[in-house]
Amino acid sequence: MSGYKRPDYPVLAVAVLAGLLPLVGANVAYVLSAGAGHVPQCFPYLDGCTSVSATGRNPPGSFIYEGTMISAAVFMVVYWYLAARWLQVHGDNSRRRKALPWMGLFAAVFLVYYTTVVGHIGEWFAIQRRIGVVGYLAGTLFGQLLLVSRIQALSDSGAWALPRWILVAKLALCAGMMLLGLSVIPAPWFTGDMVTWERIIEWNFSLLLVLFFPLTAVAWGATGFHSRFGGGRG
């Protein structure tokens, strides 16, 4: 079992920024867009008065939205590389671990693609946005599920002294996202306004998705994970 090391703060910052940038970007863009009258004023996580994409469609919100999303995509690519390296340091040499950086790259490419078309109006661009969103969310969620499964495997083998609550919290985030996705199926039985319900799901799904990243930073700190560019070795 690896001994504890002082946290490698540049490494931890990658995971924090991968989640914090899209969270802050979407919410700040919403406040700016609502203040400028481009979207309705509400609490979108509960009211679903607008979509996440609509917050980044017009200035000044679009400047914040596009800048943070593209920056987040870069940090996500590095994050998934580091996540695979972290697992390897603790003895995971499985093929599934090696898939993580590729899944992260896949998700990041679709996030950048989505961001480039988010400000354009028209049905064709709406289709392109959906393609980008689905690719980004699918790549990220499957990567997160795979990462959780590898964390579980290493915890069961005694490879590290990772606090149990971190794994439980990650499982809870993944379960929450899956339940939100599945809620679309019975939703028509309870509401006639599916557009609003889908927007509520979109906001909350995105929230759970990005919270997964800084939680990984906590796990990296708890296991003393280091990387060369952070000034140490795992």
Query: From first to last of its 234 residues, what are the pLDDT tens digits of the chain?
Result: 444 466 688 999 999 999 999 999 999 999 999 999 999 999 999 999 999 999 999 999 999 999 999 999 999 999 999 999 999 999 999 999 999 999 999 999 999 999 999 988 888 888 999 999 999 999 999 999 999 999 999 998 888 889 999 999 999 999 999 999 999 888 878 777 899 999 999 999 999 999 999 999 999 999 888 876 544 445
Crossing angle (nearest 10°) for helices 61-89 and 123-157: 30
When divided into structural domains, the chain yields a total of 1
Sign of the torsion angle spanned by Cα atoms 187, 188, 189, 191: positive
Residue type, 226: H
Structure tokens at 201: 């799901």
Separation CA 171–CA 181 (nearest Å) = 15
For residue 78, being part of any structural domain is answered with: yes
The pLDDT > 90 percentage for the chain reads 79
Domain that holds residue 24: 9-230
CA torsion angle 191 199 137 172 (round to 10): -70
**Kind and range of the H or E element at 69?**
helix 61-89
- C-alpha span between 21 and 71 (Å, rounded): 7
For the stretch 94-113, pLDDT in tens is 999 999 999 999 999 999 99
Cα(170)–Cα(26) distance, rounded to whole angstroms?
22
Domain assignment present for 1: no
Q: Is residue 59 part of a domain?
A: yes
- Tokens 């661009």 belong to 125
Does residue 2 lie within any of the structural domains?
Answer: no
CA distance 176 to 121: 32
Phi and psi at residue 93, in whole multiples of 5°? -115, 25
Is there a domain that residue 52 lies in? yes
Flag whether 157 is in a domain: yes
Indicate whether 89 belongs to any domain: yes
- Domain membership flag for residue 121: yes
Looking at residue 217, its pLDDT comes to 96
